[in-house]
Every structure is written in C-alpha cells, then in structure tokens.
Amino acid sequence: MTTYTKVLEPINMGGQQFKNRIFMAPLTRLRAIEPSDMPNILATEYYSQRAGAGLVIAEATQVSAQAKGYAGAPGLHNEEQMAAWKVIVDAVHAKGGKIVVQLWHTGLVSHNSLQPEGLAPISASAIKVGVRTSLRDGLGHPIRVDSTTPRAASIEEIQQVVADFAQATRYAKQAGFDGIEIHAAHGYLLHQFWAEHTNQRTDNYGGSCDNRARLMLEVIEACVKAWDKDHVGIRISPLGSFNNVDGGYNEEEAVWLIEQINKHGLMYLHLSEPDWAGGQPYSTEFRQKIRQAFDNSIIAAGGYTPEKAEKLISEGLIDAVAFGRDYIANPDLAQRIAKGAALNEQRPQSFYGGGAVGYIDYPFMD
C-alpha cells in the first residue's frame, strides 16, 4: 500500500490553518433553485459530507444576475442567497471543515433567456466562439444549447462587474466563508478579456497585456478591498483551451500575468491544468517559473492522482492539490487517500442537474 505524507500535512494560507492539502475543487452541479438561484436544501448535506477536505471550494457562483450563464448555478448577490449559503457554511464548519466560494461572471458562456431583460450576454467583444451552455427543460433536466452571441461590455458595465465581485465578496464574508476564489479561468468573463481572440477592444481594456489583464486585476483589487488579501484566492487556467476560449500557449505571457497577480499578495493561486480537458501537461520548467513568480501557496488541479500531488509537493512545485471528479464520487476522499482505500466509481450522468441521486448518495468507507 502506498502511503502519503505530504498531501496529509496541514498548510497555512493567509494566516489560516488547513488540516490537509487535499482540497475539493469547485464543481458546478446545476442543482440550484430557480428563479431565486439559491443553493437547494441538499447542498448542505453535500458540502458537509466533504468537510474532511483541507479546503472545500464551493461551486462557481454568480456575482450578479447578469453573471449567470447556466440554469441551476447559484448566486451570491442578494441577502436571501447569502442566508442560504450561511446554512451550508455553518454545516461545513460544524464538521471541522473550511470552505471558500468561487465567484464568477460567465460572460459569453450564457444565453439571452437567462439574462436580465433577455439581453445578449456581455463579453470583451461581440465575438461568437461557438460554445454551448445549459438550460433546463420543462421537467427541470439540463439541456445543452448554443450560447447567444455576446455584445461588447460598455465601460459602465465593466465597472459594474468590478463592483459586483466586491459586493459578492462582502456577502461571502457575511455568510461566514473562509475566503473567496475569483474564477478567472476556463474561458469565462475575466478570461475572455485576457484571451486575445475574444478581446478585440481598442480602449484601456484591450490590446496590450496590461490592458487585457486590467479587468482581472481590478477585480482582484476590489475583492481585496472588500475583505482582505488573506481571504482572496484566484483560479486561472494558463495554457489550454476551455469553452473555446483560448488563453494561448504563451508561457511568457502566462508568467507575466502571475507576476501581476502576485503583487496583490493573495491567499493562493489555483491552477487549473489542461491535461484532463485534452491539453498538454505542464513542463517542469513552466512549473518552476510559476513557483518563482508567485510567493504564496499554489494549488493545482486537473487529472491529478495522489501520487502526482505527493511528488510535486515534495519537489516544492505546488503546495496543495484539488480533486474534482473524485470528490464528487467520494465524500470522504481525503480520508480514503490517508488510508489508501479504493475509490467509488464515478457516475458522470448525474454530475449536472437532478436531485439527490449522484449528489449525496455516494457511500462513505465502511
């Protein structure tokens, strides 16, 4: 039996202690109640079952009504939603867990039927990338549809996005979360501004690296101001194509972006690596450059095994690992890894939408 030591060690991030380095990755499950976009009652059980993780990163959550891109994704932009999240946070804390919430604006990965006044979703530019999103059919089951071609956000709308991230951060603090994670990965709004092919703006938000990174960096600044640097992390997906939004495979630009993020002293940098989605694995050289560019903790995710995490932590290239699909299927994943126990079989057909089945019914170890 393989035994792991590094992944089971506690870690300090932003002055908080986390009991191990096996984290639960953010996982959209599309089970929120509509039209209120509140997490449903089962979410309390689902998240608290997973409190053995060193950190639970709750699913991508809208910072505004406009930020919504998928039917069934929750929000955190009003008091009612904040109160619903507080119940979940309290349940995770009661079981000795820690939980942050991932905040997103989906930008062009949306559909006008989900948008306020039925408008087209915003993005950096009015560019169709041919991506699909998810609505609900008459029975509440998820159905895949083409996204609506976006419109370019006005300066006022950009400023509103920044304000919305700040307000959602305040709600997260009020709900008792242990921090927030800015979702700047996977081809959603912040990534759409960063990626050259979705950003053809000629104002201060387009063109140079500085300009394309501006929105992301303004959001970071606003979230830090709304709480503090020790409670703000960020997820990016350098090198790889997600949702047909391609950040490019330019390592130099990716490292430059991380250096800019680093200036804000955030709690952590969370890398979503492209291997699991058909991309090339990171080279050791690229990992070393990231390590040099970022001073605080680095979380890595994407097709990891405990062995791979153990190795990269030992080599000093990452500090913690986040598991996605394995955490869906194993509520006690960290405990299983500690014991070298076998994992449950995943049931991908219930990853998105539906109710308790495939959500809170995966068995614990005996």
Ligand X SMILES: Cc1cc2nc3c(=O)[nH]c(=O)nc-3n(C[C@H](O)[C@H](O)[C@H](O)COP(=O)(O)O)c2cc1C
Residues that bind ligand X (CB under 6 A): 25-28, 59-60, 102, 183, 185-186, 235, 272, 276, 301-304, 323-326, 351
Q: Where are the alpha helices (DSSP H) in the chain?
A: 42-49, 79-94, 155-175, 189-194, 209-226, 251-262, 284-293, 306-314, 325-329, 333-339
Q: At what angle do helices 209-226 and 155-175 cross, to 10 degrees?
A: 30
Residue 244 buriedness (CB in 10 A; 0-12 / 13-18 / 19+):
middle
Amino acid letter for position 7: V
Closer to ligand X by Cβ: residue 136 or 325: 325
Is 188 catalytic? The answer is yes
Side-chain-side CA neighbours of 262 within 13 Å: the count stands at 16
Q: Shortest approach of ligand X to residue 34 CB, angstroms?
A: 17
* 3-state secondary structure at position 118: helix
Residue-wise DSSP of 25-76: PP------BTTTTBPPTHHHHHHHHTTTSS-EEEEEEESSSTT--BTT--B-
Catalytic hit among 4, 47, 188, 359? 188
Q: Shortest approach of ligand X to residue 191 CB, angstroms?
A: 10
Residue nearest to ligand X (CB): 324
Q: Shortest approach of ligand X to residue 278 CB, angstroms?
A: 12
Question: Which tokens in the block code for residue 65?
Answer: 């009504």
Closer to ligand X by Cβ: residue 102 or 123: 102
Closer to ligand X by Cβ: residue 54 or 302: 302
- d(CA 108, CA 340) in angstroms, rounded, equals 42
Q: Shortest approach of ligand X to residue 207 CB, angstroms?
A: 27
39 and 47 Cβ atoms separated by less than 8 Å: no
Closer to ligand X by Cβ: residue 102 or 198: 102
Closer to ligand X by Cβ: residue 99 or 301: 301
Question: Which tokens in the block code for residue 295?
Answer: 């001073």
User: Strand 16-18 to strand 11-13: parallel, antiparallel, or no bridges (unpaired)?
Assistant: antiparallel
Q: Shortest approach of ligand X to residue 100 CB, angstroms?
A: 12
- d(CA 117, CA 130) in angstroms, rounded, equals 23
Closer to ligand X by Cβ: residue 152 or 191: 191
- d(CA 93, CA 4) in angstroms, rounded, equals 26
Active site residues: 188
